[in-house]
Amino acid sequence: MKKTALITGITGQDGSYLAEYLLELGYEVHGLVRRVALEQPEQRLSRLQGCLDRIHLHPASLDSYASVFHIFTKQQFDECYHLAAQSFVAESFADGFSTMATNINGTHYVLAALRELQPKCRFYFAGSSEMFGKVRETPQRETTPFHPRSPYGVSKVAGFYLALNYREAYDIPCSNGILFNHESPRRGFEFVTRKITDGVARIKLGLASELRLGNLEAKRDWGHARDYVQAMHLMLQQPEADDYVVATGETHSVREFCELAFGEVGLDYRDWVRKNDAVYRPAEVDLLIGDATKARKILQWEPTVNFVGLVREMVRADVESLTSQHHEQPVALSGR
């Protein structure tokens, strides 16, 4: 029997990879999108280009319980992946209230509608390594206490416990993925990895003369989003709902990311990166590195792309895309 899945946040990096993956597996895929996305498909549905004609989109707002509830009255789902969120940590410092409203109430609305209408539907909550924040142990695993350092992190801790509470109180099969940073050529430009790879491509093509960044010493465990959406799916195939860390187990600084990314096009980052005090955060997460032993053992999940492979893929994709927009001739990379 064909399974049916609903993805909230389907227009984002993870949502688009997950939609493609579930389609490959033979799922009927539905997505919850804001009405404005349907009105501006070129800008807002660009990541879904490859599968738009094979998915079903439903306009709704995570600000409105009624609109979320309505989707569950129209269609039965076997699985619901709740990825929609205000996911930019820096923005959560600028507007903590709307981050909290979307991330906490939005999650609560989906859970409450499921409880009311489809309590057997398996639910995935997109938790985050930002929940560990000021880390209490290294590496971080499922049992590591949370200490969030931003309104975003606080909202994800609340979402995590909401999902856990619906599992314990109402027997809804809710799983929490605690995903460490995951990137790809589809990453939004506001996140540091894409800001760097886009900046590298612009500098290489003569479209920019510097890249302004904040804290270069922060360390992250960076994996590839395509690998991470497979872990989400595996979580919902288990007989019992549970919580899993998804990470590569490697950590690198923003500085190392710059070094590698600029090196990929034969440049030295020290010649191009300038400090921008304005993007330092009021409270920083200094070091994240995950221990995904549980996911490896129980889900049989393994990441396939390492740090070097990830940086290379992102730089090459940005150089290629900007070249096709601005140059007729292909640009030679460093020759590696």
Phi, psi of 303 (to 5 degrees): -75, 145
128 catalytically annotated: yes
Query: Rounded to whole angstroms, what are the CA distances from 153 to 17, 104, 134, 143, 204?
Result: 24, 11, 11, 17, 35
Q: Which is nearer to ligand G4F, 63 or 284 (CB)?
A: 284
Gap between the Cα atoms of 76 and 83, Å rounded: 19
* Cβ-based neighbours of 64, under 8 Å, separated by 6 or more: 109
The active-site residue, picked from 79, 130, 259, 264, is: 130
Q: How far is the CB of 179 from ligand G4F (least distance, A)?
A: 6
Catalytic hit among 128, 129, 175, 184: 128
Q: What residue type is assigned to position 24 of the chain?
A: E
Concerning whether 259 is annotated as a catalytic residue, the answer is: no
Q: How far apart are CA 69 and CA 185, in angstroms?
A: 33
Catalytic, 130? Answer yes
**Minimal distance, residue 214 CB to ligand G4F, in Å:** 3
Of residues 121 and 243, the one with the C-beta less far from ligand G4F: 243
Per DSSP, the three-state class of 91 is helix
Which residues of this chain interact with ligand G4F, rule CB under 6 A? 87, 89-90, 128-130, 180-181, 190-193, 195, 213-215, 218, 220, 254, 279, 281, 284-285, 288
Q: Which is nearer to ligand G4F, 122 or 156 (CB)?
A: 156
Q: Quick one: 51 or 90, whose CB is closer to ligand G4F?
A: 90
**CB of residue 313 vs ligand G4F: minimum separation in angstroms?**
16
- Residue 48 CB contacts under 8 Å (≥ 6 apart), including other chains: 10, 11, 16, 19, 31, 55
Catalytic choice (27, 109, 124, 152):
152
> Least distance in Å: CB of 34 to ligand G4F?
18
Contact, 201 vs 324, CB < 8 A? Answer: no
Find the distance separating the first CA and the last CA of the chain, reported in whole Å.
47
* Least distance (Å) between residue 254 CB and ligand G4F: 5
Catalytic residues: 128, 130, 152
